[in-house]
Amino acid sequence: MNVTWLPSPAKINLFLHICGRYENGYHQLQTLFQLLDVGDEIGIEVNSTGKLSMTTLMPGIPEDDNLIIKAAKTLQNYTKVSQGASFHVKKQLPMGGGIGGGSSNAATVLLGLNKLWRLNLPIDTLLPIAASLGADVPVFIKGQTGFAEGIGEKIIPVKTSDKWFLVANPGVHVSTSEVFQHPDLPRNTPLISYDKYTYKHTQNDCQELVCNLQPKVAKLLQWLVHYAPSRMTGTGASVFAMFSTEAEAHHVLRQLPDEFTGFVAKGTQQSILHTQLEGILR
C-alpha cells in the first residue's frame, strides 16, 4: 500500500471585519489568515480505477458532503483524469471550529492530487476550483499567511510577528450560515488598509453575536482573556490567545478547565503543506 501522508494545517483569523454586503448576498469581508504549524494529516493512495473513497469514518458527514471527496471529484471532473484515490485521515482539528479544518482538508487533497496524478496545474488554475468548494479553501491553496478581502478570495501575503497560540474549543457547534444571516450581525465596519493593521485596533465582528448565541464560547473567552489577549476565530466556536513563547502557551494550556479542549501551535508564514510538497514531491 503506497500512501502519501500530507499535513492539512489549521488557521486562525487574527481579525474578521464585516464591511458590507454585496447585491448577491455575500458579505464584504476583511480578515488576516494566520497559518499554524499543526493540523490534520491526510493519506492519499492513488489507484487506476477512477474510484474515490474514504477509509476513515467522518462522524455526522455523509460521503457526498465530505469536502475531501468533493475536492477530488471536482478536480477529476475538471481534468478528466482517469485515476482515482482513497483517503485516510488522522483528524486532530474540530469540524466547524473556525480553524479551517474542512477547508484545509479540501486544499490538501487538491494540491496533493495535483502532484500525485501528475496534473501539474498552476496555482492560478487551482484557485477557482478551490473557491467553488468554500470561501476559505483558496487561502490554503496559496499557502501563505495573508490579508484577505472581498468574500475572502483576494489574498495578499503579510509578514506577521513570530507568535505562539493557544487555540481552545468549547465543544459546541456554530453554524456559519446562521451567523451570517443573523439580523444582529454588524455589517458596517470601515475598510482598513492591510499595511496599517494592528491587532489592538481590530476585532472579530462575529464574536459578540456568537457569545450571545453560545454562552460556552463567552465562558471560554472570559477564562482565557485573564492570561493573554484573546479572540474568537472565524465564526467560532474556537478561540485563541497569543503568547511570545511556547512555554507560556503550554503553561496556560495545562490550566485549561476539563470542559474545554485545546492545543498549542506556532504561527507560520508558509503553509507546512507547501513546505512538505516542495521537499518530497518534486
Using the predicted structure, report yes or no on whether residue 8 has a pLDDT greater than 80: yes
Model pLDDT for residues 176-220, shown as the tens digit of each residue: 999 999 999 999 999 999 888 899 999 999 999 999 999 999 999
Using the predicted structure, report yes or no on whether residue 58 has a pLDDT greater than 80: no
Model pLDDT for residues 76-105, shown as the tens digit of each residue: 999 999 999 999 999 988 777 899 999 999
pLDDT of res. 241: 98
Contacting residues for 232 by C-beta, under 8 A, at least 6 apart: 98, 204, 206, 207, 210, 211, 217, 221, 238, 239
Q: Which domains does the chain have, with CATH numbers?
A: 4-158+271-280 (3.30.230.10), 164-268 (3.30.70.890)
Q: Which of 20, 11, 107 minimizes the C-alpha distance to 67?
A: 107
Of all residues in the chain, the percent with pLDDT exceeding 90 is 83
Please state the residue numbers annotated as binding site for ATP.
94-104
Which are the catalytic amino acids? Answer: 11, 136
pLDDT of res. 166: 98
pLDDT of res. 162: 87
